[in-house]
Structure 1
Amino acid sequence: MTSEVLAVNTAFYRAFEKKDIEAMSALWSQGTGSTCIHPGRSLLRGWKEVHSSWEQIFRNTAYIEINLDIMTTEVADNTAYVVLIENVLQVVNGKRLQAQSIATNVFQFLGGKWYLVHHHGSPIMR
């Protein structure tokens, strides 16, 4: 089960890097219970708000690369979470930016498949 959760977690970051809204949509629970907190932002509730936020990020990001350092993964019954460091390299408005965030991704096992139901990223200040 842990390997399945980690596979969905990896697919989430690959969809993010590719700015692929369809792949991103396939990984998220489409319900009203989905939530997301992007670094430095407020809580987004429900798939509609979460989806819109990813569309906006994809539109405004020329290039993004994310390398992961998994800190812990826990699976219990139909819920799992992954806590990790996101090492981010991106190009925004022609500028190359590097940053680190600590993130928690929460997954639920729904209809025989793991779906992302919550993503929370916080910047790591140096």
Structure 2
Amino acid sequence: MTDRQALLDANESFYRAFEKRDLDAMSKIWSQGTASLCIHPGRQAIEGWQQIRASWEKIFKATHYLEIDLDIVRVEVYENFGYIVAIENLLQINGGRKLKAQSMATNLFEYLGGSWYLIHHHGSPIV
């Protein structure tokens, strides 16, 4: 498997955890360090895995159903660092209300101990 494919697979794991609202799977893909950073669309930056985990927990509790399709814009790998830029096409159902949205996302990964870990996720709404 190429480094590029392994990075794409890690990114896919992140989005499947997101889509399935699975905190355990999310915990396996995110770096557990305090330097991790997450910026949900329209929100402030969240630092450190514990705060990031709490933010995902809130999102998952508020969401009844979620589908995410990605359009990959760019993939780059540099030794133990890689990033993916993608358009997130989201279908979300909350309280019987259906919402479709698009976000431009940047996901930064670090290669540690034989695996890629997400260290930064930034989503910005596409208007």
Structure-1-length-normalised TM-score: 0.98
Which residue of the partner structure matches residue 94 of structure 1?
A: 96
Which residue of the partner structure matches residue 113 of structure 1?
A: 115
Which residue of the partner structure matches residue 73 of structure 2?
A: 71
SS of the residue 2:122 aligns to: strand
Matches within 5 A, 1:33-52: 33-52=35-54
1:28-51 Cα deviation digits (max 9, x unpaired):
000001000000000000001100
CA drift at 1:93 = 1.7
| RMSD of equivalent CA atoms | 0.5
CA drift at 1:63 = 0.4
Aligned residues: 125
CA drift at 1:77 = 1.1
Q: Which runs of 5+ in 2 are unaligned?
A: none
CA drift at 1:15 = 0.6
SS of the residue 1:48 aligns to: helix
Structure-2-length-normalised TM-score: 0.97
Q: Structure 2 CA distance, aligned partners of 1:16 and 1:47?
A: 15
Q: Partner amino acid for 2:35?
A: G
CA drift at 1:5 = 0.3
SS of the residue 2:8 aligns to: helix
Q: Which runs of 5+ in 1 are unaligned?
A: none
CA drift at 1:19 = 0.5
Q: Structure 2 CA distance, aligned partners of 1:11 and 1:110?
A: 16
1:77-105 Cα deviation digits (max 9, x unpaired):
11000000000000012100000000000
Percent sequence identity over aligned pairs: 57
Q: Structure 1 CA distance, aligned partners of 2:113 and 2:54?
A: 25
